[in-house]
Structure 1
Amino acid sequence: MLKGLRNSLALCLLTPLVALATADITQLRPEAVHQQTMKDIISSLNVGHYNKINVDDTLSSGLLDKYLSELDSSRSYFFQKDINDFEAYRYEIDDSILAGNLDSAFAIYNRQQKRVVERLSWTIDRLKDPTPFNFELNETLDTDRENAQWVNSQEEMNNLWRKRIKSAILNLMLADKSEQEAKATLIKRYSNQLKRLKQNKSEDVFQRFANVFTKYFDPHTSYFSPRNSENFKINMSLSLEGIGAVLQSENEFTKIVRLVPAGPADKTGQLKPADLIVGVGQENGEIEDVVGWRLDDVVDLIRGPKGSVVRLEIIPSDSEDKAGRKTISIKRNTVALEEQAAQKRIIDVTYNNKDYKLGVIDIPAFYIDFAALQRGEKNYKSTTRDVEKLITELKSEAVDGLIIDLRNNGGGSLREANDLVGLFIDRGPTVQIKFPNNHIEIQGDFNPKIAYNGPLAVVVNRLSASASEIFAGAIQDYQRGVIVGNQTFGKGTVQTLQALQHGQLKLTNAKFYRISGESTQHKGVVPDISFPEAYDTTEIGESALDGALPWDTVPQARHGFYKGIASFKDELNKRHTLRTSNQPDFNFLREQIVRQSEAKKDNSFPLNEIKLLAKRDQADKWQVDAENRRRLAKGQQLITKLADLEALLKKDEEGRPITAGSEAILQESGKILLDMVDLTKQLITTYNPQ
């Protein structure tokens, strides 16, 4: 009875919601194909998704909140009275979508579109108004409105947007634009947003709502419209002629999620995850402001012919006030498999007054040339084959130990992760895969051949994901080597593509587990020896994703153990801590972490020009002072400004700057490896006194 009453109320409200829109905005309505596709998505998720979720009132309530957050994450468009109206849908959305009825989703979107047009129009008018802005007032803008109260009145909304305009102008002025140039840029930005908004189609609304729904199951489950299905296929085939970066929308910005190893963006050495793209330009001409653009439109602008140049204006992720900007030129290209290949080098490490040679194998991705394999070519490229060859070469050079560097390795072929473990163990299981029906499949290495049985260290960081975590987890579970670095990404799920009559669905259909029984999902792999964490784990990693599947366990797979570090792990940590307690690069990294943490807590953006400039100058001065403390401790040339640093950094073969911190991590990893050798010898001596 109550459910029916709510249903009637929701239907009654539909007409007023639609009628509220302004005359110049097309009222978008669901098409018949969207109604059937919604049913197909629900059916596919119920049958194939790992996470079994009922489409009920609980989901309906959560889906409404997620949809409102998707449409207005900064709570800067909807009024409280809008939210009150939407409450009629809270426990009705589940019944509607089960029936393929998308009226409520479209009604909410149409209201949001009306509010956005109102705001953009008001903002453009205010920017054109000759009345000057007062940048001497002592006021601030709250930059984190995720949990703010919804706006109650037109006056309150206008005041919020007045502050947002001042903030935007000041940001551009800090980027060396005059106030008039800043206003002109913003007028163009908001006019473009208005124009693009009016070009939206029913397909856009459906995909947006469908993705809010699919992500309720987990963050890696997505619906692709026919257009975006084609884009996805291009990306997966690595034939995309672009910059080699995975992008996503975040509020009004385009955010870099990860860089494709050996891709054009990676080779610049100037881009990193969590950087924000605010402008895109070609080799010549102006850079176009892309704040507020749809993601697929930004991607289309970045794409271009192989060999051509694209320029990106970015806000670095470590910019404290989000005002610091820089422009990067990137030559578009495809990513050749050969460029992602594992590479070796030898580093010299002084330990206990003796010099040692340690082999380092950098593996940027887990790759395999399936096409060559299927053609029957004997010398097809693969991670395992390449690493085995490099190990042979390093052994011929009599290295004293081996470091596998998996930093920034986002994964790839499961087969290769499994086979790579086999180069270091006799035989045994390597990974467990659990499916929705609770069936567990165990994969392993059944070839007794070992390519390397010497001292082994594996370096990981927050961007080591998926196949990297399977390899590192297996090495740790066998106690075959020491794992050092940072807690890994935590991507422990498997996705599959399912074709629909309209578009396609990427859904999570399995979960990875280590042979210890622990999932790599959410938690990732925790190193035996942890280094200071350079990446903000609240922004990067599986645990930072809304709705990520939880960490859990399954029964352990039977496997053997090597002598490993279990008996002297505490001593390893003690030596590492003592050695790095006053190491300049580690001190610098720890200072940066504390500074970033403090800056993140400050959500107040000064709208007083003098105070904002002072805040920026103070941030720059701190960075210069911190860098000089490190350089002074290492006996290096000091700098007077941050721009000096670029010229002083050494470059690798691709021209990428080699940061001192990265090399310090490798050096310390080598010393931990030699600690392990030393303590293992002591252990053998203890048990076999002769």
Structure 2
Amino acid sequence: MSIAQRLITRNMQARPLVKGITLALMLAMPFSVSGAVDRDAQYEPVTPTVEQARANILIARQLQFTHFRNLGINDSLSGDVFDAYLDYLDGQRIYLTQEDIRKFSAIRMGLGSALKTGQLQPGFDIYNLVQQRMIERLNFALSLIDQGIDNLNFNTEETIRLDRSEAEWEPNKEALDSLWVKRVKNAVLAQRLNGSDDEAIEESLRQRYEGQLKRAYQARSEDAFQAYMNAFAGMWDPHTSYFSPRTSENFNINMSLSLEGIGAVLQADNEYTKVVRLVPGGPAAKQGQLQPADRIVSVTQEDEEKPVNVIGWRLDEVVDLIRGPRESTVTLEVIPASATDETVTKTIAIQRDKVKLEEQSASKDVIELERGGQSYQIGVINIPTFYADFKAMQEGDPNYKSTTRDVRDLIEELKADGVDGVVMDLRNNGGGALHEANDLVGLFIDQGPTVQIRNSNNDVQVLTDQDPSVAYDGPLVVLVNRMSASASEIFAGAIQDYGRGLVVGSQTFGKGTVQAVRPLNHGQLKITQSKFYRVSGGSTQHKGVIPDIEIPSRVDKTRIGEDALDHALPWDQIEAVPHARYFDFSGVIDELRQRHEDRFEASPEFRLLQQEIDFLKEQRELESVSLNHDQRKEHQSQIEHTRLTIANARRELRGEEPFDTLEELDDWQDIQAADLNSTDEELDFIIREGGHIMADMLELDQRMASILNPRQITAQAR
């Protein structure tokens, strides 16, 4: 089997496991936790096992001698591992104090030598102290609830910091007490503003804190080992991760083509479980409401009325709770990625189902543009993922399903329709089968290299399209966004390097590395072994693909993307490989950009998009929120008013009646999302803008016909 067939680039947007194990929601039955917690129980410290010590030694050897990055285990690394480990265990700095941190000063610089030799006790000592401090804090929060939340004062001028990841550790227990009073007040205020009465709030918070407390008492040796090993492995890069035996099982399920569940990949994010990405064609993606970076608050089964609060749960337990049999329904309460704080939540009902390969398939549409009396027919091909039915392929089925085969058929249909150009929509395409990206490039070029792969020994393999036939030789635009990753970036980068078309959208994810999963005596190690480079020599790693024409995006690049991850491998470049150059856009690109910007300024849709982007940015930049009831209510009212104003402006553009209240808007969105058979007759304006850019290309330079006769050049590295 060739390297192209072996390298399957899935889980492209997975966050580093230092921040939490990333799991897919696929098979198995729901998980439940019952029984009251004994608040007076004594925490039983966890201890390392012999198997874990052996696995630690194997992991250290693999990291030092087989990882793409050459990184030694020394005193400097020890300090970094220590910081990353504490970041995982207490990322918001709400359990430990400066006094606790000083206790570990002697351990800090000795972790490296201990990790080389399988001495795990220092890491377990840190873990056990954090668990003990967590129990103390949760009991303190419960004592406040026991005293009655009506005793809390919401008329002060207090504020609470939203993100404490960069805050100083509180100096002592008394300071932490003050912080936790604020935390409880913030939680109460959030639910009051959502319309809950005090009795319901007390029950909800007691369930939350008792659930977290119970899990702290039930800490397992494997929890400590997995967290410690991922803090260690994450020093090399964010995609190198240790999988415990149980997590390995979940990972293997995720790599299967037969998937059942809601079709989402989750990760731990401090106290919350966060959505990393949605599986194309899966129930959550089709339902349409769950989005990357949403945080899950509670889970409700279809046969139960009472939601289960999952704040503070272990990730694997949340995954087990959300999983379930096909055609059953699970309801998630989430804090949307766009929310300013915990005040804003919404509920999403998703019917579990099997993720079918055909529902990930490429599809086509045709849009018609009228410009100055000239009519243009633009073909649009949407590719949700780079897929291939490997089982059918291995069995010799001549009609096996794949991205390239499907797109070839769609191109023939579009050519029969007489389209003037083709827009390839790779937005939100997180990657998939590498050889499909290679073959897809081949549909648009005669033949030649498509991507370079360099391993840790600096050996470079060049994947090439060896088929001289061309499925489509006309004008081409490729749409990308921040969620376009890996195989998508390889395709977009090759089209850009060949001058075969224009790349339009926002900077892509920047996932330009290849991982292999290696078995250990205890679990598995996913380790980065290679790196992708474009035919022009530049890596897709870290930087991604920079569009020729940029379109603003709602996605926060500081939170999503390779360059937002700790210890991500850097961008670099190697020698270019000779390749064709089909068209030189340098003579028209400035005019193309100006025309696009003029349309941007004149377009109501673009103005609304920019207004929404500015609004979201403003909310994300908030560092704190008020704990004064009236001030917080006024802030929430302003947010709701802005949301409603933007939504009604969009409805006005479509000639639809505006909503009177935010509740009407939310109800309408729920109805739209619940109707999985509904279709939007009007393609979104980003696609239409891609069509307009295509029309600009045709108007500005009739030499586009020269695409048929590429001139060969020796490309220079960029």
Shorter-chain TM-score: what band?
A: over 0.9
Match of 2:46 among 25, 28, 31: 28
Structure 2 CA distance for aligned equivalents of residues 652 and 665 of structure 1: 24
d(CA) in 2 for partners of 1:203, 1:604:
36
| 1:573–1:141 CA distance, 2 compared to 1 (3 A) | same
Matches within 5 A, 1:332-481: 332-481=352-501
Q: What SS class does the counterpart of residue 195 from structure 2 fall into?
A: coil
Aligned equivalent of 1:244, options 263, 270, 273: 263
Distance 2:249 2:652 in 1: 53
Query: What CA deviation, in whole Å up to 9, does each residue of 1:189-247 have, x standing for no partner?
Result: 11111111111111111011001111111111111111111111111114342110111
Instruction: Tell me the equivalent position of 2:77.
Output: 59
Shift of 1:657: 7.3
* Counterpart for residue 11 of structure 1: none
C-alpha contact 1:652 1:658 (8 A) present in aligned 2: no
Partner SS for 1:465? coil
CA distance in 1 between counterparts of 2:308 and 2:459 reads: 52
Aligned to 1:168, what secondary structure does the other structure show?
helix
Confirm whether residue 490 of structure 1 aligns to residue 504 of structure 2: no
Number of the residue aligned with 1:9: none
- Quote the residue 1:225 is aligned against: 244
In structure 1, what is the Cα distance between the partners aligned to 2:672 and 2:121? 59
Q: What is the letter of the counterpart of residue 666 of structure 1? A: I
What amino acid sits opposite 1:654 in the alignment? Answer: L
The CA deviation at 1:353 is: 2.9
CA distance in 1, matches of 2:648, 2:676: 27
Contact kept in structure 2, 1:418 and 1:445, CA below 8 Å:
yes
What does residue 120 of structure 1 align with? 138
Matched, 1:198 2:214: no
Aligned to 1:4: none
Give the structure 1 partner of residue 119 of structure 2: 101
SS at match of 2:78: helix
Instruction: Give the match for residue 174 of structure 1.
Output: 193
Answer whether contact 1:268 1:656 (CA < 8 A) is retained: no
TM-score (norm 1): 0.93
- What is the rounded CA distance, in whole Å, between the counterparts of 1:273 and 1:70 in structure 2? 20
Mapping of 1:516-555 within 5 angstroms?
516-555=536-575
Match of 1:668 in 2: 689
1:609 to 629, 637, 659: 629
Within the candidate set 117, 141, 160, 2:160 is matched to: 141
Q: SS of 2:693's equivalent?
A: helix
Asked whether the 8 Å contact 1:492–1:521 carries over to 2, the reply is yes
Q: For 1:144-293, what aligned pairs fall within 5 Å after superposition? A: 144-285=163-304, 286-293=306-313
Q: Which residue of 2 aligns with 1:576?
A: 596
- The alpha-carbon distance between structure 1 residues 166 and 552, as it changes in their structure 2 partners (threshold 3 A), is same
Unaligned runs of 5+ in 1: 1-21, 686-690
Deviation at 1:365, TM superposition (A): 0.5
Matches within 5 A, 1:288-299: 288-299=308-319
Root mean square deviation of aligned Cα: 1.9
TM superposition shift of 1:535: 0.3
* Equivalent position amino acid for 1:279 in 2: S
The match for 1:19 is none
Preserved contact between residue 267 and residue 656 of structure 1 (Cα < 8 Å): no
User: Given that residues 268 and 655 in structure 1 are in contact (C-alpha distance below 8 angstroms), is that contact kept between their aligned partners in structure 2?
Assistant: no
Deviation sequence 1:625-682 (CA, Å, 0-9, x none) = 233445446655333233444638988993467598x711011110001111112217
Partner of 1:14: none
Shift of the 635–241 alpha-carbon distance from structure 1 to 2, 3 Å rule, reads closer
Contact 2:287 2:673 (8 Å CA) reproduced:
no
Give secondary structure in 1 for the equivalent of 2:684.
helix
SS at match of 1:438: coil
- In structure 2, how many angstroms separate the alpha carbons of the residues matched to 1:642 and 1:376? 55
Q: Structure 2 CA distance, aligned partners of 1:650 and 1:572? A: 36
Q: Determine helix, strand or coil for the equivalent of 1:507.
A: strand
Q: Which amino acid aligns with 2:54?
A: Q
Superposed displacement of residue 352, structure 1: 2.6
Aligned-partner SS, 1:112: helix
Map of 2:90 onto structure 1: 72
SS in 1 for 2:588: helix
**Structure 1 counterpart of 2:444, one-letter code:** F
Q: 2:525 aligns with which of 479, 495, 505?
A: 505
AA in 1 matched with 2:75: D
* 1:588-615 alpha-carbon deviations (Å, 9 max, x no partner): 1111111122111212121111111111
The 1-side partners of 2:662 and 2:609 are apart by 16
Pick which of 288-297 and 135-144 moved more.
Answer: 135-144
1:12 is matched with: none
* Cα displacement (A) at 1:44: 1.2
TM-score, length of structure 2 as denominator length: 0.90
User: Is this contact kept in 1: 2:187–2:342, CA < 8 A?
Assistant: no
User: What is the Cα deviation at residue 582 of structure 1?
Assistant: 2.3
Identity %: 48
Which residue number corresponds to residue 654 of structure 1?
676
Corresponding residue of 2:108: 90
> What is aligned with 1:679?
700
